[in-house]
Amino acid sequence: MSAESDDDADSSIYANDSSSNLRITQLLKTKPLIDLLKEDKENCKQKDSEKLWYHGRITRDVAEDVLKRGLVRQNSIDGLFLVRESSFSSSSFVLSLCCKGNIYHFQINEVKTSHFSIDAGPTVQGLDRLIQNYQKLAQGLPTILTQFCKCKPPPDEQRYAGVTNILHKAVLEDKAELIQEILKSKYCPSINAKSEWGTTALHEACTYGFENVADLLIRHGANVNSLDRDGQTPLHRCCTANNAGIISILIQGGNANVNARNPKSGWIPIHQAAYQGHLKCLKILLDFHSPYLPRADDDDDTTPLDLAENYEHKDCFKEIDNFECQKVVTHKYDWFHPELDRHSAQKLLEFKGLSEGLFLVRNSKKNPDWHVLTLCHDEKVFNYEIKTKNYRDRHMYYIDDGPFYKSLEHLIQYYSYHNNGLPCALSMSVNTTKELIQISSDEDYSNLIETQRKPDKISPALPPRPDILEAPVTDTTKKHIGSHLTPPPSPTAPSMSPPPPPNHPPPFRQQSVSKAEAAPIELRRIDRKLLKLGREIGQGEFGQVVKGEYKKKTAGKTTEKINVAIKLFHRTAIDNTEDFLKEARTMQQLDHSCIVNFIGIAENDNHELMLVEEYIAMGSMLDYLLDYPSHVKKDDLYLWASQIALGMKYLEEKKMVHRDLAARNILLQDKKMAKISDFGLSRAVGSNSDYYKATTGGRWPIKWYAPECVNYGHFSHASDVWSFGITLWEMFSYGEQPYENMKGIEVIKFIEEEKRLSQPKECPDVAYKQMLKCWNKEPKQRPKFFELNQHFHQEDIYNTVVCREVMNKLRK
Ligand code: AMP
């Protein structure tokens, strides 16, 4: 690989300008925010005008057409170019270039995260700097780059630096409320835009310890894994600056990758914490399942333990040295097949159906001390060597550049919750008697998040996000990319670096994306022009929820204005469009008075999606219980409980499991009507079984889940009944947090020890009895929703005629 060029060589082109020194609060005295935002946008556009050579994902043919048209306009100039995304891989790009009447296409390889090269040319951080270098020197190209066909600037993530915008400035001034205003505005700059110093707004919030701001940015979709000019992610920055508080926000709120490697230093965040001697950061990272002995990407395999020792941070050294990595819950007999060779291992996995994440471990023929992990991904089989090494007199196991672990079991457990480096996490194994074994990582629900309690104004509680698999961005792609000098291809030759052959191991740290298991159904669309957006009423998983008005066409030509709730879709670094649409598709199939009614999907001018549903005036039941406990009588609770059970009975009839039944997801239309909402985690149960099997990772509301969900990923109507029991407990305790401050893993242990939540202070015995029934260890012994509906209807002993009427009407 060629040496990296000097990073500071051309930083002068990003020189500061005087306006960026002005405080935004001062500027606000001179004009309204909207004007500042418009000016800022214009200013950024102008400063980027020399970088509008990026054309996104267009094909080779289209690129040639664009260039040919450009040639006509520019009078056949040599060096006319554009950059496009490679159609083989979204992490590589292509430079299409005209010279002497020919068009050449050069593959731009991402050698390591955000570092690019063309053939044997220098490796440079950022597409913008790469192109800039080739605008000065040909370095192996047939010509220097002269002019470009105009389109748009390169993507934020792939840039070395950008233009300092109004959001960066507001963050540096720690103005959370102002930032919220900016983020709401349609003139808001891209949240992941880099400043002239190569940092995103989130990097700055992490450096300066602005917790509220970091939280806000994450909720609005900031990329938690983006790299700054020094190759640091926001997590690295927290560790450098000793801002331990933000680490949990990044991981819990944004699913930040604790394994993200700095491509320059080869360090992951825990290395950084150990180097600086920041014990608190180090401890938090370990709590969030950071590996404790990751190896730097260097010749010495430097670990955080080495760094703590070398830089004499005794407390950090002690913490790592004494760190007993979590107890293992996986056993060799579930996956170890010493007798199998490569061929028979493949055959066995094929026989077992090649499901995603299915694996076994066998002995290596190469070295008696080594093993091989044989793993299914994408219905193909891949083999990874598990090597061993003596480290500080300990026998350590590792895969490729992954962390050291002291036993095979620990290593397997680590890879069952982090796919770090592998194409997917390990989820199921074949044991020696050829049975399939679900890998239960027990202690290691690093992806699970407990939903927080009552939101504050600036930091609303973040609901769990469904099926977001880790999206590591650190790099080892270099392992699969050659850097041979290749002559420029003829205009008709195929691109220079072909995609890997089908059986080549997939690139390390490939991103897994959950598949939509529901057959796509045509979604009901509504015209955006018929919608009027109003104030914010909540923060949902995908972004803001606002109140709105919908001009509904009724019979004839008349229209009727109805109140609606509009869920705005904020695309995140991981493309979550499918999750958003999945929720819409599920809702569209439902029609019941105890379930929030779906109206349609709309799209704005920027092709951003919105989910429109009926407006439920009193909002979240949980908030109501917390805010107005004295307004809620026992008979209200009975009525709501019977309505929730009725809605769930309907869901059961539709063969769907909700998987996120909780007080926060019940909305109140008025005191007499509760409705179930939030179908983001809902799934259809199979036609031949009574449960849905979760195959992808995800962040689950563990405190609401039955043991079989946690242990085997089995979700059924009976597991929804368990969650109903927890919801009842929340209701009768007037919004208390179930299991208080216990962590997910502590709750699992608590339940396994046959312990259950205790009876809330004012909860009648009859209601608590039902809760205990819902929490029966045996799913089959739990009550059914129709029984629960009947029970709470009867328990509604003080109920008024109105309540009876409501329920009787609903039952019909
Ligand atoms: P969700 O994305 O469903 O978790 O919604 C987030 C918040 O937005 C909820 O807690 C409610 O406060 C509010 N909300 C969501 N849907 C509605 C609705 N249909 N009517 C009124 N408020 C809603």
Residues 6+ apart with CB under 8 A from 98: 67, 70, 71, 76, 77, 78, 79, 80, 81, 104
Enzyme catalytic residues = 660
Assess if residue 40 is contained within a domain.
no
Contact 624, 666 (CB under 8 A): no
| pLDDT at site 434 | 86
| pLDDT at site 167 | 95
- Smallest CA separation from ligand 1 atom 1, residue: 540
Cα-based distances in Å from 505 to 45, 375, 495: 41, 10, 21
222 and 91 in one domain? Answer: no
Pocket of ligand 1 (CB under 6 A): 463, 537-541, 545, 565, 567, 596, 613-616, 619-620, 667, 677-678
pLDDT band at 759 (very low <50, low <70, confident <90, very high): very high
Report the CATH number at residue 532: 3.30.200.20
Closest CA to 278 of 235, 240, 251: 240
Among the atoms of ligand 1, which is closest to the Cα of residue 677? 3
66 and 119 in one domain? Answer: yes
545 and 676 in one domain? Answer: no
Q: Which residue bears the tokens 């003139």? A: 187
| Greatest extent of the chain over all pairs of C-alpha atoms, in Å | 90
Ligand 1 centroid vs 544 CA: distance in angstroms? 9
Assess if residue 81 is contained within a domain.
yes
804 and 691 in one domain? Answer: yes
List the structure tokens of 681.
């985690």
> 55-59, 270-274, 577-581: lowest mean pLDDT where?
577-581
Contact 640, 732 (CB under 8 A): no
Ligand 1 centroid vs 665 CA: distance in angstroms? 8
Burial class (CB within 10 angstroms; exposed 0-12, middle 13-18, buried 19+) of 361:
buried
Q: Which residue bears the tokens 């109805």? A: 562
Flag whether pLDDT at 423 surpasses 50: yes
763 and 704 in one domain? Answer: yes
Contact 323, 286 (CB under 8 A): yes
Give SS3 for 812. Answer: coil
144 and 76 in one domain? Answer: yes
Domain count, the chain: 4
- Please name every residue paired with 620 in a beta bridge, in sequence order, or none if there are none: 667
Closest CA to 467 of 412, 525, 518, 522: 518
Flag whether pLDDT at 11 surpasses 80: no
Given 565, 585, 614, the domain boundary residue is 614
Ligand 1 centroid vs 620 CA: distance in angstroms? 7
- Smallest CA separation from ligand 1 atom 23, residue: 619
- Smallest CA separation from ligand 1 atom 6, residue: 540
Assess if residue 387 is contained within a domain.
no
Eight-state DSSP code of residue 2: P
Assess if residue 290 is contained within a domain.
yes
- Smallest CA separation from ligand 1 atom 4, residue: 540
Q: Which residue bears the tokens 């929730």? A: 644
Residues 6+ apart with CB under 8 A from 273: 239, 279, 281, 282, 285, 304, 316
Ligand 1 centroid vs 746 CA: distance in angstroms? 30
226 and 112 in one domain? Answer: no
- Smallest CA separation from ligand 1 atom 17, residue: 565
Given 614, 637, 658, the domain boundary residue is 614
Ligand 1 centroid vs 142 CA: distance in angstroms? 58
> From CA 640, how far away is CA 658, in angstroms rounded?
17
680 and 767 in one domain? Answer: yes
| pLDDT at site 9 | 34
765 and 643 in one domain? Answer: yes
Assess if residue 151 is contained within a domain.
yes
H-type alpha helices, 356-441:
408-417
Question: Which of 563, 576, 620, 668 has most ligand 1 atoms within 8 Å of its beta carbon, as the pocket-test mutant?
Answer: 620
Question: Which of 533, 542, 545 has most ligand 1 atoms within 8 Å of its beta carbon, as the pocket-test mutant?
Answer: 545
| pLDDT at site 252 | 84
Among the atoms of ligand 1, which is closest to the Cα of residue 614? 19
pLDDT tens-place string over residues 552-564: 877 656 778 899 9
Q: Which residue bears the tokens 């769990």? A: 464
Among the atoms of ligand 1, which is closest to the Cα of residue 539? 6
List the structure tokens of 763.
């909860």
In order, the DSSP letters of 464-490 are: PPTT---------GGGG------PPPP
- Smallest CA separation from ligand 1 atom 7, residue: 538
Ligand 1 centroid vs 377 CA: distance in angstroms? 37
Q: Whole-structure pTM over 0.75, yes or no?
A: no
Contact 429, 421 (CB under 8 A): no
Given 559, 585, 614, the domain boundary residue is 614
pLDDT tens-place string over residues 565-584: 999 876 654 456 777 788 88
578 and 717 in one domain? Answer: no
Q: Which residue bears the tokens 């909305």? A: 667
633 and 606 in one domain? Answer: no
> From CA 339, how far away is CA 337, in angstroms rounded?
6
558 and 646 in one domain? Answer: no
Calculate the dihedral angle through the C-alpha atoms of 129, 135, 141, 142, rounding to the nearest 10 degrees. Answer: 170
List the structure tokens of 136.
């000065």
Pairing of strands 666-670, 656-657: unpaired
Cα-based distances in Å from 230 to 96, 110, 167, 234: 29, 17, 21, 11
Flag whether pLDDT at 517 surpasses 80: no
Provide mean pLDDT across the span 24-52: 91
602 lies in which domain range?
528-614
List the structure tokens of 39.
């000016």
